[in-house]
Chain A
Amino acid sequence: EAQVTQNPRYLITVTGKKLTVTCSQNMNHEYMSWYRQDPGLGLRQIYYSMNVEVTDKGDVPEGYKVSRKEKRNFPLILESPSPNQTSLYFCASSLSAGSGNTIYFGEGSWLTVV
């Protein structure tokens, strides 16, 4: 089954404790991205990756890092989480950043930073 898998789905952590949210897709997609969803702000793109070893900042990259060493994986790293990073995070992938390609989303990761 084609899917985008994120882990963990739910996490409560403390300020400053590094954490990683993993994302894996099994569709051989080139394009992957991370979004955060906040009430009244919709989805905002954090980082995206056009292909292996190619990553770039989205609209709200501050406080986050990503890596794309393999095609299927695109982890989101919070080196020193802060309470304003409490949010719902979605990983997404598509065949390429190409015309008409559907974006597939993971189930979301609820992150609370206290």
Chain B
Amino acid sequence: AQSVSQHNHHVILSEAASLELGCNYSYGGTVNLFWYVQYPGQHLQLLLKYFSGDPLVKGIKGFEAEFIKSKFSFNLRKPSVQWSDTAEYFCAVNALYGGGYQKVTFGIGTKLQVIP
């Protein structure tokens, strides 16, 4: 079974600092990869996703992520965070098995706190 690891559970940054949140997964086959954001009191919203093509994907609000297949990683980055980026971030992996079976697994989330 696949698993997803998010290394940083709680990150505190000052505004304008650069952000990188780690995500590693364990599955040797084909995957689709997602980053979701959950603002306080709200539901999860898609930030960006990768399913094929250019491994560097750009999402909303200046976020980007790079899929490195050899490292089983899909780290999220933003050059300069803002106070409004304070939220919880979830990495998710959709592992594609044979026969059309697929399974989505989420990481435990990283809470980002941006200090003005």
Of all chain A residues, the one with the shortest Cβ separation from B1 is A59
- Asked if B108 and A40 sit within 8 Å, CB to CB, the answer is yes
Q: Which residues on B sit within 8 Å (CB–CB) of A45? A: 104-105
Q: Which residues of B contact A106 (CB under 8 A)?
A: 43
Q: Are B49 and A42 in contact (CB under 8 A)?
A: no
Q: Is B70's beta carbon under 8 Å from chain A?
A: no
Distance of B40 from chain A, by nearest CB (Å): 12
Which residues 55-114 in A have Cβ within 8 Å of B in the complex? 90, 97-100, 102-103, 105-108
- Cβ contact of B49, chosen from A35, A41, A102, A107, cutoff 8 A: A102
* In the complex, number of A-B residue pairs with CB atoms less than 8 Å apart: 49
Q: Do the beta carbons of A90 and B44 come within 8 Å of each other?
A: yes
Of listed B36, B46, B104, residue having the most chain A CB within 10 A: B104
Q: Which residue on chain A has the smallest CB distance to residue B92?
A: A103
17 A-B residue pairs with Cβ-Cβ distance under 8 Å, sorted by A, are: A42-B108, A44-B106, A45-B104, A45-B105, A90-B43, A90-B44, A97-B100, A99-B32, A99-B96, A100-B51, A100-B52, A102-B34, A102-B49, A103-B34, A103-B46, A103-B104, A105-B44
- Contacts from B to A (Cβ < 8 Å): 9, 30, 32, 34, 36, 42-46, 49, 51-52, 90, 92, 94, 96, 100-102, 104-109
